[in-house]
Amino acid sequence: MANFKEEFENLKNENARLTELVKVLEEQIKSLNLQLKLERELASKQEFNPSSQMQISKEKMDEFIRQNIIRQMNAFKKEEI
C-alpha cells in the first residue's frame, strides 16, 4: 500500500512539473507567434516602402530587424503587465 502512495505522489509531482512545462511552452509559442507577426509586418513595410531604396548589407538588415522585434516585444510585454 505504501508503494502505491509513493507512486501516486511521484505521479502528482510529475504532473505538476509537466503542467508547468506546458505553461512555459505556451508562453514561448505566444512569443514566437508575435515575433513571426512582427517580422512579417516589418518585411511588408520594407518591401513596399519606396523611401527605403538605399542598399545595406544583409547582416545590418538582420540586426535592424532583430532590434525592432526586441523593442516591439518588450513594449508588448509591458502592455500585458
pLDDT digits (tens, 9 = 90+) for 12-69: 999 999 999 999 999 999 888 898 888 888 887 765 555 555 566 778 878 888 888 8
- Domain residues for the domain of 31 are 2-80
**72 in Cβ contact with 39 (< 8 Å):** no
* Number of domains the chain contains: 1
pTM of the model: 0.50
